[in-house]
Every structure is written in structure tokens, then in C-alpha cells.
Amino acid sequence: MKNHRRDFLTKVASAAALASSTGGLARGEEAASPLSSGARQGNPIAVSTYSFWRYRAEKMPIEDCIELAAEMGFDAVEILEKQMHRKDNAYLQSLKRRAFLAGLSLCGMSTHQDFVSPQPEDRRANVEKTIRSIELAYQLGIPTIRVNTGRWGTTPSFDELMKNRGVEPPLEGYTDEDAYPWVIDALKDCLPVAERCGVVLGLENHWGLGLTPQGVLRIVDAIDSPWLRVTMDTGNFLEDPYEKLEEIAPQTAFVQAKTYFGGGTWYTLDIDYQRVAKILREHEYRGYVSLEYEGREDARTAIPKSLALLRSVFKA
């Protein structure tokens, strides 16, 4: 197996030095003095294992991502379920032990499901898949998972979907109005297991019915359960993002923060993170902010710079 950690660490030190020399500050933010009480300043900053892999070449093992996250100075790790190469209990417990000894929390898990299908058997299969993800998170001690609505699948590739700004036509003979009850009923079927396991489902502002804040909140409000909240992705509202992030902020239980050093893989957003942090503070959000790095710059240099950026703005 390749030594991913050693490859990453050859560039981490220089990136950290660069971040330090610039103060890691964004848009003129001044450094805050330590609170005299010793209270934690701001939000804990996590990193998604996706940031190290991003669906490129060989999957980086989760255990390597945990070690890199600790050495770079993150507070926690969010696991991308698709990146896991094993799911047996011995392996899961070894990940918990590794994170604990590294001083990290396993704070979230990103999962994939698709409830936007006119076929009841397809929706049932995705409910069962999501329930397995909930139970997997429980075994790992993870308190929340990212869930999606799914999408129509009428756009052949994700690259084409991104060219269309995430907009996709429904299947012939159907509309989005048909799909909302499918998604609502499917998530309702998942909630008893989520409650039993103590795992909050976070519906992400993603593609499909989650493309707009109105779509996300229509589903969350219809279900009206403390076990279904919102996972806010700062990079998935491509137009007028701040007004839309403001709409979903009251229901947000987890935040995924995109950065695009070197330009984005599919698109580039110039996100004003001071403004995002202000929105979240106004809604008393105290939870995790998890980095999803999605730029073209080498992750070994871009991830430490991203951490410095997020630390500078998500402080008290």
C-alpha cells in the first residue's frame, strides 16, 4: 500500500508556514485575543476524508486521513462512506481507537441515497441502504449523517449536471411535485432507526429536490422531527448563496465548507466566509464546520491553507 501520509507530509510543513506568514486571515480579519475564561473560541473545524481523495485514482484509506487530519491540526474528521474499503466491526472499532488516540472526534459521515424514483422497490432499497448507513454511523460513534434527496437521473453524467448548474429535467410524465412525497415518506421510514441509534439525519442542500432552500425546508418542515435537520453545504448554492444559506441556517445541524484553491474542479465560488460565519453566529450555530476541499491545487498545500482560513473566520 502506498504511504499516503508520507507523501502528504512532504508538503504540509511548507503550507503551514505559508498560512502562518499570512496569519491565515481572510478579507482583513484581525486576530482575536484569547478569552480570559479559557472557553473554546468558535466552531470546531473538521475535515472530510473526501478532501484528501476527491474521487481521484486510488482511494486513500480512512486511517491515513485520520492521521493526516491530526498532524495538520484539525479537531475532527468527517468520513465519506463511499471511501471506506472495509465495514467489518473490527475495522470500525480500530478507526474509533485511532481517532481517539489522535485527539480527534469522528463527527459526521456523508452518505448517498436516491429517493427520487417512481418505483416503490427502488425507494425501499434506498431506505434500507440509508438504515445500514445509520447503523454504521452508530457503530463508529458518529452522531450525524449527510443524506440527499436523490435526483431524476435524466442527465447522463455528473460533469454534464454541473455544466447545467445542477438543474435536471424530471422523467417524462412526472414532475418534482410527484417526487416530494416519495422523499418525505422514505425519510420518515428511516427516522425510527435514526432515533434508536441517536444519529441525526442532515438533509443537504445538494442536487435534485435539495437544489433550493425551499426544496430542502419543504421536506424538513413536512417531517418535523428532531432527528431530521439540515446539512449546510456552503458551495452548493451557485447563485445568490448568502440569502439562501440564511434561509436554511435555523435548521442547520452540520456545516460542510468548500474551498477552491487553484480553481474548482467543476466550478469556482469566491465564498465570503466572514459573511457565512456571521450568518451562523446570528443563528447560534455552535457545531462543526467540516472542510470539503474541491480545488485543483495539490491537497497537501491547499488543505492546511483551508484550515487556516476556516480557523480565522469561525472563531468567537
CA dihedral over 50, 125, 178, 214, signed as positive or negative: negative
pLDDT tens digits, residue range 178-211? Answer: 999 999 999 999 999 999 999 999 999 998 999 9
What is the pLDDT confidence band of residue 156, given thresholds at 50, 70 and 90? confident
Residue labelled with grid coordinates 442536487? 207
Identity at 74, one-letter amino acid code: F
State the pTM of this model.
0.88
Residue 309 above 90 pLDDT? yes
According to the model, what pLDDT value does residue 11 have? 58
According to the model, what pLDDT value does residue 307 have? 98
CA dihedral over 132, 225, 252, 157, signed as positive or negative: positive
According to the model, what pLDDT value does residue 77 have? 98
Burial class from Cβ neighbours inside 10 Å (0-12, 13-18, 19+) for residue 267 reads middle
How crowded is residue 224: how many other Cβ atoms within 10 Å of its Cβ?
7
CATH superfamily ID and name for 41-313: Divalent-metal-dependent TIM barrel enzymes (3.20.20.150)
According to the model, what pLDDT value does residue 159 have? 85
Burial class from Cβ neighbours inside 10 Å (0-12, 13-18, 19+) for residue 129 reads middle
- Domain residue extents for the chain: 41-313
